[in-house]
């Protein structure tokens, strides 16, 4: 397609008013007589009009009229849809989703943001009242994180994140920083939300005791055993790896399993709940003590040097504990220093031993 170039001048039959509106060409002194330079100068001084090129092969006539806005077939169909059936999607419904509806589905779409992907479903989020309740139970009432997680059916990691964010929010309010309240309110009004009531029996928000797949259990294994032997979860863990804990101990809430066992043994629900709270409190106390000891041990082998602007940390290491290949996980520089040859030619990628 030829380039759309505006005309260098107007016709002699143009109205006088249009002639007065157009800028006059600047006077020039000595100019080169090259035709290309003269062509560029003419079009550079011409008025900024959009032109459309028309003509046959070998010749082109240029027009100063504005080009017609071009719409593709898909854009035209979209404009017709957004002006017709798609009008309902311009504004969301407060307190619910406004996802697109599939043609073949007669039910209202409330949890599928992508109609062509029915396997992906959106999950509800906790509203501000639920987050405030979690923060109040842990910070004000002093309950343990595991107890609140088991009571409300919220994952331990989510409970910890809510408490940290609430503390940051209160710190910002104390410092006089502005919060994006209108933005948060608008976003929550477009998503399905979940709330808790202190006087009612609350439904669990999400699964809290799911077992994550360990890499040791990803391999297929045939373990011979006698038919009379009672093969337990602990035996299955030992079959995969000697240091692998059984599933009853690797779940986030192993205390819930013990509480269910007590209920099956005839213990009253109140006593079983109290025993559960004591067990989770003791578990968190041991975890915090282990974390403190780990930090203290690391500080013993770390020397800090303050230079006013920076802090240099030197740690004592044992150079002999680098493993047979120099890539021990606890060694210095195990992430860098020596390149990996996994994708290089001539390297043996077949396992040479079976664990």
Nearest residue to 149 via CA among 130, 134, 168: 134
What pLDDT does residue 330 have? 72
Tens digits of per-residue pLDDT, 136-169?
A: 999 999 999 999 999 999 999 999 999 999 999 9
- Domain identity same for 227 and 184: no
* Burial per residue of 128-152, b for 16 or more beta-carbon CB atoms within 10 angstroms, e otherwise: eebbebbbebbeeeebbbbbbbbbb
- What share of the chain in percent tops pLDDT 90? 32
- Domain identity same for 308 and 334: yes
What pLDDT does residue 335 have? 61
* Token pair belonging to 328: 């021990």
Tens digits of per-residue pLDDT, 256-290?
A: 999 999 999 999 999 999 999 999 999 999 999 99
Report if residue 58 sits inside a domain: no
- Domain identity same for 314 and 267: no
* Mean pLDDT computed over 248-254: 90
What pLDDT does residue 46 have? 44
- Domain identity same for 261 and 316: no
Report if residue 94 sits inside a domain: no
Tens digits of per-residue pLDDT, 20-73?
A: 545 555 554 444 444 444 344 444 444 444 444 444 455 556 666 665 566 788
Report if residue 169 sits inside a domain: yes
CB atoms within 10 A of CB 163: 18
Report if residue 189 sits inside a domain: yes
Residue 160 and residue 108: Cα distance in Å, rounded?
35
- Domain identity same for 229 and 281: yes
Q: Are 112 and 179 in contact (CB under 8 A)?
A: no
What pLDDT does residue 186 have? 87
Report if residue 65 sits inside a domain: no
Rg of the chain on CA atoms, in Å: 36
* Mean pLDDT computed over 296-309: 90
- Domain identity same for 286 and 329: no
Tens digits of per-residue pLDDT, 199-250?
A: 666 788 899 988 888 888 888 888 898 889 899 989 999 999 988 999 888 9
Which of 20-27's residues contact partners 24+ apart within 8 Å by CB, and which partners?
22/47, 23/47
* Mean pLDDT computed over 4-13: 51
- Domain identity same for 286 and 305: no
Residue 233 and residue 239: Cα distance in Å, rounded?
10
Q: Are 156 and 144 in contact (CB under 8 A)?
A: no
Domain boundary (194, 228, 243) is at 194
* Confidence grade of residue 338 (pLDDT, cut at 50, 70, 90): low
- Domain identity same for 260 and 310: no
* Mean pLDDT computed over 2-21: 50
Report the number of distinct structural domains present in the chain.
3
Q: Give the largest Cα separation in the chain, rounded.
A: 111
What pLDDT does residue 277 have? 92
- Domain identity same for 281 and 318: no
9 pLDDT above the threshold of 60 = no
What pLDDT does residue 87 have? 86
Place of tokens 């002999």: 320
Report if residue 316 sits inside a domain: yes
Report if residue 1 sits inside a domain: no
- Domain identity same for 277 and 321: no
329 pLDDT above the threshold of 80 = no
Give the residue numbers spanning the domain of 322. 301-338
Which of 335-344's residues contact partners 24+ apart within 8 Å by CB, and which partners?
none
Non-local (6+) Cβ contacts of 149 within 8 A are 155, 156, 159, 208, 252, 253
- Domain identity same for 188 and 229: no
Q: What is the mean pLDDT of the chain?
A: 79
Residue 334 and residue 328: Cα distance in Å, rounded?
6
SS3 of 53, please? strand
Non-local (6+) Cβ contacts of 212 within 8 A are 250
305 pLDDT above the threshold of 80 = yes
Report if residue 136 sits inside a domain: yes
- Domain identity same for 284 and 306: no
């Amino acid at each position: 397609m030829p380039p759309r170039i505006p005309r260098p001048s107007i016709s002699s039959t143009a109205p006088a008013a249009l002639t007065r509106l157009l800028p006059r060409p600047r006077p020039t002194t000595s100019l080169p007589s090259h035709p290309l330079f003269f062509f560029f100068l003419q079009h550079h001084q011409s008025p900024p009009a959009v032109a459309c090129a028309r003509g046959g092969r070998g010749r082109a006539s240029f027009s100063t009229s504005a080009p017609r806005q071009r719409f593709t077939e898909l854009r035209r169909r979209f404009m017709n849809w957004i002006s017709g059936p798609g009008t309902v999607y311009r504004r969301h419904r407060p307190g619910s989703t406004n996802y697109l509806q599939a043609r073949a589905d007669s039910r209202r779409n409330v949890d599928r943001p992508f109609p062509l992907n029915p396997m992906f479903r959106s999950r509800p989020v906790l509203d501000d009242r639920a987050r405030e309740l979690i923060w109040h139970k842990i910070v004000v009432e002093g309950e343990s994180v595991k107890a609140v997680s088991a009571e409300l059916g919220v994952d331990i990691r989510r409970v910890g994140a809510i408490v940290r964010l609430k503390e940051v929010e209160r710190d910002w309010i104390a410092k006089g920083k502005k919060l994006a309240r209108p933005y948060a309110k608008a976003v929550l009004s477009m998503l399905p939300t979940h709330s808790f009531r202190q006087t009612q029996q609350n439904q669990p928000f999400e699964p809290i005791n799911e077992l994550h797949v360990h890499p040791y259990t990803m391999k297929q294994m045939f373990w011979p055993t006698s038919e009379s032997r009672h093969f337990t979860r602990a035996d299955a863990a030992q079959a995969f790896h000697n240091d692998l804990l059984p599933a009853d101990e690797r779940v986030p809430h192993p205390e819930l399993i013990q509480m269910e066992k007590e209920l099956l043994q005839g213990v009253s629900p109140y006593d079983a709940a109290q025993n559960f709270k004591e067990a989770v409190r003791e578990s968190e106390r041991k975890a915090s003590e282990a974390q403190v000891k780990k930090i203290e041990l690391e500080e013993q082998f770390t020397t800090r040097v303050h230079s006013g602007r920076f802090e240099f940390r030197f740690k004592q290491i044992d150079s002999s504990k680098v493993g047979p290949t120099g890539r021990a996980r606890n060694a210095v520089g195990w992430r860098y220093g020596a390149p990996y040859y996994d994708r290089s030619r001539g390297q043996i990628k077949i396992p040479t031993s079976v664990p």
